[in-house]
Amino acid sequence: MKRRVFLQSTLASGAASMTGLGLLVPHLALAEDAKPADPAKTEPTKVEEPAKAEAKPAEAAKTETAAASTESSPFTATSYEDALKGLNIATPEESDKVLIKAPEIAENGAVVPVTISTTLEGATQMGLLIKNNPTPLAAIFTMGEGTEPNATTRIKMAKTSDVVAFVKVGDKTYSAKQEVKVTLGGCGG
């Protein structure tokens, strides 16, 4: 019995990282092609980067300013409260019209699929925070006209945490949360 559980979880986490997308949306079949491209794509960039920085000091400087400018953004805030402060959200009102679709248990914290949506009229912006992550703010989505207030992405989770979605309608902010239990952390620590 134990062995079976182990096998299942290994399989599941392996599958989630490589072909998760393929499993979830088989007709899309993006994942198969993405897999072989991965190592090829990431390796050259890693080798290139230091060389580039040495050769072009100007570019290195540009990178530094870019890093400095993100310093103050809510994305680098290291606590949930600071992230909310950076977003200018005082106290979001909990609403059952803000919906989060996420697994209750994530076997692999490196890839947790999350969908946020709302049935509230006039939503212009949505956001996603992971309370216990080192940098809790994961994403902000700003919708154009005609774009429906729903978005799916995949996030990393360091450990079990509440996932919080917020939706801005006019100058009010509504939120909802769901706990996701993580059995294997996703921040490479």
Partner 1 sequence: MAIRVKAKETSGIVEVKALMNHPMETGQRKDKATGELVPAHYINKVEVMAGDKKLLEANWGPSVSANPYLSFNYKGKAGDKIKVTWTDNKGGTDSGETEVTT
Question: Which positions lie near partner 1, rule CB under 8 A?
Answer: 21, 25, 28, 30-31, 33-34, 37-38, 41-42, 45-46, 49, 59, 62-63, 66-67, 70, 75-76, 110-113, 130, 133-148, 150-157, 186-189
Give 31 or 176: the residue with its C-beta nearer to partner 1.
Answer: 31
User: Of the two residues 6 and 159, which places its CB atom closer to partner 1 in the complex?
Assistant: 159
In terms of Cβ atoms closer than 10 Å to its own Cβ (0-12, 13-18, 19+), residue 135 is middle
Give 2 or 46: the residue with its C-beta nearer to partner 1.
Answer: 46
Least CB distance from residue 141 to partner 1, whole Å?
5
String of DSSP letters for 34-74? HHHHHHHHHHHHHHHHHHHHHH-HHHHHHHHHHHHHHHTSG
Treating both helix axes as pointing N-terminal to C-terminal, what angle do 30-55 and 2-24 enclose, rounded to 10 degrees?
80
The nearest distance, CB 8 to partner 1, in angstroms, is: 22
When the beta carbons of 5 and 145 are compared against partner 1, the nearer one is: 145
Nearer to partner 1, 11 or 29 (CB): 29
Q: Whole-number minimum distance, CB 70 to partner 1, in Å?
A: 6
Spatial distance between the Cα atoms of 8 and 102, rounded to a whole number of angstroms: 20
CA–CA separation, 47 and 102 (whole Å):
36
Strand pairing of 112-118 and 98-101? antiparallel
Token representation of residue 9 = 């979880």
Q: What minimum distance in Å lies between the beta carbon of 155 and partner 1?
A: 5
Rounded least distance, CB 63 to partner 1, Å: 5
User: Which residue in the block uniquely carries the two structure tokens 């294997």?
Assistant: 184
